[in-house]
Amino acid sequence: MSALLSVQNVTKRFRGLLAVDNVSLDVAEGEIFAVIGPNGAGKTTLFNVIAGVYRPDQGQVAFAGHRLDGKTPDQVCRAGVGRTFQIVRPFPALSVEDNVVVGALLRHRGLRDAREWAHKILRRLDLFDKRHQPASELTLPDRKRLEVARAIATEPKLLLLDEVMAGLRPTETDRMVAALRRLNQEHGVTILLIEHVMRAVMALASRVMVLHHGAAIAQGRPDEVVRDPAVVQSYLGAEAVG
């Protein structure tokens, strides 16, 4: 198994707080990998280390054979890693279409090309009909999909999704799950997602890692992980197993 993304012994401290504690993971090309864990477990910090927002205190991040740690967020994106934000950050005054066009312009230098590419992505995420609306007028589910659309527009090999299901109703979650699965299967995008919504994790992920207090306490197939006593104890709660 050749790892597209390889995180090796990454540690990140904020002063006294050990946010990520010696975490390692490998994401294979074409895989959907989920990171779960209670609030404050260090999931988003781990994400931000991969995305170049933070430099790890120890450890390495490699992507497609190249070192990623020490790179800035824009360099990480240009290397082929797209990301979304936990709290969505669309460009509010721009139209839905222009939000995606900006992302598309990274690899399509001409505006016409970029717009064509953006239209394809907008269709893929069911946003095409709303393309002329300002992003600020979208509902939360639409904004979440726009966040994904904008990240995909940069044509990443690996997509980092930070709680894109949070705040969605079950039907909307299923819609997002379907969109992500299509993206993964038809377009070969590898996905690393942080998620609280177990329904989505179970439906999507081929492997799961559980973080607790910054450390990885379990890793494996989703059905194995949810039965792991340590995971049940720290995160899911006894009733989740039943």
Partner 1 sequence: MIGQMFEGVPARALACGALLLAALLAAPYVVNDYLLTVLIIILYYAYTGQAWNIMMGFAGQLSLGHALYVGLGAYTAAAFYVHFGISPWIGILAAIPIAIAGGAIIGFLAFRFRVGGVYFAILTIAFAEFARVGFDHFNWVGGSSGFFLPVANYAVSDLWNLRGKPMMFYYLILAMTVLAFVICRLLLTSRIGYFWLAIREDEEAARAIGIDTFRYKMYAVILSAGMTSLAGIFFAFFYNNLFPEQVFHISRSIELILAPIIGGVGTLFGPILGAFLLTGLSETMHAILYGFGIDIPGVKQVFYGLCLLFVVIVLPHGVWPWVARVLGIKERRS
Minimum distance, C-beta of residue 122 to partner 1, in the bound complex (Å):
15
How far CA 70 is from CA of 11, 12, 45, 51, 63, in Å, comes to 14, 13, 15, 10, 12
Of 94, 166, 198, 203, the residue at the interface with partner 1 (CB under 8 A) is 94
Contact flags string 100-119 toward partner 1, x per CB under 8 A? -xxx-xx--x-x--x-----
Q: At what angle do helices 170-187 and 111-124 cross, to 10 degrees?
A: 130
- 167 sits near partner 1 (criterion: CB under 8 A): no
- 91 sits near partner 1 (criterion: CB under 8 A): yes
- 131 sits near partner 1 (criterion: CB under 8 A): no
Of 153, 159, 168, 205, the residue at the interface with partner 1 (CB under 8 A) is 153
- 70 sits near partner 1 (criterion: CB under 8 A): no
- Give 31 or 147: the residue with its C-beta nearer to partner 1: 147
Residue (of 1, 11, 3) closest to 62 by Cα position: 3
- 150 sits near partner 1 (criterion: CB under 8 A): yes
Stretch near partner 1 under the rule CB under 8 A, chosen from 21-29, 69-77, 120-128, 189-197? 69-77
Stretch near partner 1 under the rule CB under 8 A, chosen from 2-10, 149-157, 179-187, 232-240? 149-157
- 73 sits near partner 1 (criterion: CB under 8 A): yes
Alpha carbon distance 159, 114 (integer Å): 19
Minimum distance, C-beta of residue 86 to partner 1, in the bound complex (Å):
12
The H or E element containing residue 9 is strand 3-14
DSSP summary character for residue 41: S
Q: Which residues, in sequence order, are CB contacts of 159 under 8 Å at separation 6+?
A: 81, 82, 83, 84, 148, 151, 152, 183, 189, 190, 191, 192
Residue (of 214, 201, 207) closest to 46 by Cα position: 214
